[in-house]
Chain A
Amino acid sequence: AQSVTQLDSQVPVFEEAPVELRCNYSSSVSVYLFWYVQYPNQGLQLLLKYLSGSTLVKGINGFEAEFNKSQTSFHLRKPSVHISDTAEYFCAVRTPAQGAQKLVFGQGTRLTINP
C-alpha cells in the first residue's frame, strides 16, 4: 500500500521569497504523483502531475516539482510567492495499475504568505 507524508503542516513565507513544500511517499511499485491546491472555501485543484519521463514537472501558477526516485520524494517549489498563493497544498500518489483509481493524499501543508 502507498502512503504520503507531507513533512510540514504549516509553512509561513514572506511575499516574493522562494518556497519548498516537502512530500515523501512510500510504495513498493511505481507511482503517479500529484500536487493539488485548495484555496479557502473551494475544492482541490490540480497544480501538476508526474507520470513518467522528465523528473522536473512544471505546473500552473509558476509552481514546479521534482520527482526523486531514490529519495522517494516529490517536493513542490516556487521561486517567488505571491499573497494569492496562500492556500493548503496536498501531495497525492496513485499506482499505474489498471483500475487503480484511488488517490492517497498527504495531510496537507498550509502555506501562509506574509506581506
Chain B
Amino acid sequence: DAGVIQSPRHEVTEMGQEVTLRCKPISGHDYLFWYRQTMMRGLELLIYFNNNVPIDDSGMPEDRFSAKMPNASFSTLKIQPSEPRDSAVYFCASSPGYSNQPQHFGDGTRLSIL
C-alpha cells in the first residue's frame, strides 16, 4: 500500500499567487481530511470529505481557501490569493468508513508565502 501521497512536498511562492496542493488518498478509504499545522495554532482540521462530498468545512479559514474532490483518488486544496499568514504545513489524511479506524496521514506540503 502506497499510503497517502501529497504533492508538492515543498512550495515557495510570492504573496498573491494561487497555490494548489494535491492529495491522493489510500485506495478504498471513504474519508479524506485536510489539516493545517502551525507552531501557533497546532493541528487544525480545515475540511473533510465522505465519498467525495464535503461534509464539514467549518475549519476553512476564509473564502480564499477552497477544496475539491472530483473523484475517489484525488483532492485539491487551493489558496487564492495566498498571503504570508498561510505559511504552514498542510496535511492530507484518509480513513475507512468506520469510526474505530485511524486516519492515515501523508507527509505534508510545507508552504511558504513570501
Question: A-side binding surface: helix, strand, loop or mixed?
Answer: loop
Chain A residues, Cβ within 8 Å of B48: 101-102
In the bound complex, CA of A66 to CA of B91 (Å): 28
A44 at the B interface (CB under 8 A): yes
Q: Is the pair A45, B105 in contact by a Cβ cutoff of 8 Å? A: yes
Chain A residues, Cβ within 8 Å of B45: 102-103
Stretch of B68-76, B79-87, B94-102 contacting A (4+ beta carbons < 8 Å): B94-102
Stretch of A10-18, A67-75, A77-85, A89-97 contacting B (4+ beta carbons < 8 Å): A89-97
Q: Is the pair B107, A42 in contact by a Cβ cutoff of 8 Å? A: yes
In the bound complex, CA of A42 to CA of B55 (Å): 27
> Of B50, B55, B106, which is within 8 A of A43 by CB?
B106
Chain A residues, Cβ within 8 Å of B95: 101
**Number of residue pairs spanning A and B whose beta carbons lie under 8 angstroms apart:** 52
Interface residue tally of chain B, by bracket? Answer: 20 to 34
B66 at the A interface (CB under 8 A): no
Q: Mark B38-75, 1 if CB is under 8 A from A, else 0.
A: 00001101001010000110000000000000000000
Most buried by A among B33, B100, B103: B103
Q: Is the pair B100, A44 in contact by a Cβ cutoff of 8 Å? A: no
Distance to closest chain B CB from A9 (angstroms): 10
Distance to closest chain B CB from A59 (angstroms): 11
Q: Is the pair B43, A90 in contact by a Cβ cutoff of 8 Å? A: yes
Near A by CB (< 8 A), chain B positions 21-38 give: 31, 33
In the bound complex, CA of A43 to CA of B4 (Å): 10
Chain A residues, Cβ within 8 Å of B56: 102
Given the known interface contacts A101-B95, A102-B48, the answer about A96 and B102 at a Cβ–Cβ threshold of 8 Å is: no
Top 9 nearest A-B pairs (CB, nearest first) are A43-B105, A44-B105, A46-B102, A107-B42, A105-B43, A43-B107, A51-B100, A101-B31, A100-B99
